[in-house]
Chain A
Amino acid sequence: AQKITQTQPGMFVQEKEAVTLDCTYDTSDPSYGLFWYKQPSSGEMIFLIYQGSYDQQNATEGRYSLNFQKARKSANLVISASQLGDSAMYFCAMSPNFGNEKLTFGTGTRLTIIP
């Protein structure tokens, strides 16, 4: 079974600062995929970034980067130069087969950007 843990229920960050959202995972699968999704107050789920368990380099997508530390089983999301529009719920998730199977989600972190 797979498990995702997000220990920060809420975070407040000043606009333009960088923010790190924590995510740890547990799995016995040798290969897996890690994902981050954003859920604004409007409710939709927006895919942000993906990291494969065999990827040697950390994934980056614009202002988003994933700090992947396999030995520690952590996959933290880093948002650089935060913006007011970054205020949302952020969910870490994993799947056992590079995204072709079900996602197991964490409980989420509510990020609020302060102007």
Chain B
Amino acid sequence: DAGVIQSPRHEVTEMGQEVTLRCKPISGHNSLFWYRQTMMRGLELLIYFNNNVPIDDSGMPEDRFSAKMPNASFSTLKIQPSEPRDSAVYFCASSLGGYRGRASEQFFGPGTRLTVL
């Protein structure tokens, strides 16, 4: 299995530019998560989808951030316009989901390191 695939792995952009991060979850997984990792705030959930439907977007910082999951094999996280404080590592993760009593760990992609100048 290829695991969770993220692209690009590194992105350097200038303030004000639009940034699009992409994620392909593990085939068969029905939950997808976007996390952000920074030194100051640690790992925090931005949004998660279940069966392609956004379930909780309370972690999305502001309207500049948007996420979509048009089908079970693809998701995007878009930042428009980007700001220097958005610099972070963005992880996508997927899981099988499950029922009470059964473990369903999340498998993380390699992350996208975003730098906004």
Point out residues on A near B: beta carbons under 8 Å: 31, 33, 35, 37, 43-47, 50, 52, 54, 91, 93, 97-108
Contact = CB atoms under 8 A, between A and B. Distances in A.
Given A45-B91, A102-B56, A105-B42, A33 B33 contact: no
7 contacts: A45-B91, A52-B103, A93-B43, A100-B31, A101-B48, A102-B56, A103-B45
Contacts of B110: 43-44
Which of B45, B106, B111, B113 has most A Cβ within 10 Å?
B106
A50 B105 contact: yes
Interface of B: 31, 33, 35, 42-45, 48, 50, 55-56, 59, 89, 91, 93, 95, 97-108, 110-111, 113
Contacts of A97: 100
A45 B108 contact: yes
A80 B106 CA distance: 24
Contacts of A99: 95, 98, 103-106
Interface residue SS majority, chain A = loop
A44 B48 CA distance: 19
Contact of A44 (B44, B98, B111): B111
Contact of B45 (A33, A100, A102, A106): A102
B87 to A, nearest CB: 15
A46 B93 CA distance: 11
Contacts of A102: 33, 45, 48, 56, 59
Contacts of A46: 108
A14 B106 CA distance: 31
B45 A98 contact: no
Nearest to B97: A100
